[in-house]
Amino acid sequence: MADQPRRPRTLNDARTEAEAVFKKVTTKAPEPPPKKGALPGVKELVSLRIDQDVLEHFQQWGPGWQDRINDALRKAAGK
């Protein structure tokens, strides 16, 4: 079968192609959602594996051992 001749490009074809390229280049990518900031004073529940002797060290003075661990971690983090 013989090859069919290509149809000539029209002004509308060129305009459509140009608009598609322009739109691709000028369209802004969607911005990622803003990161949630930490609220002061809000604690997050986590599971943490700690050596038994370290845990006993913080628990030896009674209640509040979780706050003492938090304070020690904050100090180690430089905050």
Residue 28 domain flag: no
Cβ burial, residue 79 (10 Å; 0-12/13-18/19+): exposed
CA distance 71 to 60: 16
- More confident of the two residues 9 and 23: 23
- Average pLDDT taken over every residue of the chain: 83
- Assign 3-class secondary structure to 27-53: CCCCCCCCCCCCCCCCCCCCCCCCCHH
pLDDT in tens, 27-56: 677 788 777 776 777 888 889 999 999 999
Q: Is there a domain that residue 16 lies in? A: no
- Residue 7: per-residue pLDDT: 66
- Residue 65: inside a domain, yes or no? yes
Q: Which pLDDT value is given to residue 52?
A: 95
Q: What is the pLDDT of residue 19?
A: 85
- Whether residue 31 lies inside any domain: the answer is no
Tell me, yes or no, whether 8 lies in a domain: no
Domain with 78, as residue range(s), is 45-79
Mean pLDDT score, 4-30: 76
